[in-house]
Amino acid sequence: MDRLDEKDIQLLRILQKNAKLTVKELAAEVNLSTSPVFERVKRLEQDGFIKHYAAVLEAEKLNRGFTVFCQIKLKIHDRAVGNQFVEDILKIDEVAECYNISGDFDFLLKVQVRDMKHYQDFVFNKLGSVDSIGSTHSTFVMAEVKNTHGLSI
């Protein structure tokens, strides 16, 4: 953060809200000409402040509107078992996000499926094939209250 000035932070905030803006539009927003804005954005990308650009999709319209947070406890706490779990989870399309967490569980999955029947199939056939899982606990989302898809900077 030390290397960022106020214009860089402004650019990050603006791009986080709308990454489709042109360099010309960005320049107008931060009161700079296009060349320095282009160079700043390029530097922010190269320095890793901007990981990538993506479209935020409407899960409901794509039949993936049923969200479940699934907590996972591994059978054994071992490097090989943990690495195998991660490899297996990365291959499962329904898992939108996966976090290694502390506490009573080892991993937290955000799962996006059509409905409860699809989640049941996911648990039996996809999670059920991951040998390293000892136990699971599912929490079903009733409504998404806040999801900015971004960071407060």
* DSSP labels, 111-149: EEESSHHHHHHIIIIIGGG-TTEEEEEEEE-S------S
Q: What is the pTM of this model?
A: 0.87
Average pLDDT value for the chain: 95
Distance between CA atoms of residues 89 and 79, nearest Å: 15
Locate tokens 């390293």: which residue? 132
Question: CATH 1.10.10.10: which residues of the chain?
Answer: 6-46
Choosing among 1.20.1290.10, 3.30.70.920, 3.30.70.20, 3.30.110.40, the CATH entry for 60-140 is: 3.30.70.920
Distance between CA atoms of residues 124 and 92, nearest Å: 13
pLDDT in tens, 50-83: 999 999 999 999 999 999 999 999 999 999 999 9
pLDDT in tens, 80-98: 999 999 999 999 999 999 9
Fold of 6-46: Arc Repressor Mutant, subunit A (1.10.10)
Percent over 90 (pLDDT), the chain: 94
pLDDT in tens, 109-126: 999 999 999 999 999 999
pLDDT at 69 (0 to 100) = 98
Sign of the C-alpha dihedral computed for residues 48, 50, 54 and 57 taken in this order: positive
Distance between CA atoms of residues 93 and 121, nearest Å: 13
77: which residues sit within 8 A by CB, 6+ positions away?
A: 106
Question: CATH 3.30.70.920: which residues of the chain?
Answer: 60-140
Burial 91-124 (b: 16+ CB within 10 A, else e): ebebbeebeeeeeebbbbbebbbbeeebbeebbe
User: In the structure encoding, which two tokens stand for residue 40, read together?
Assistant: 């700043």
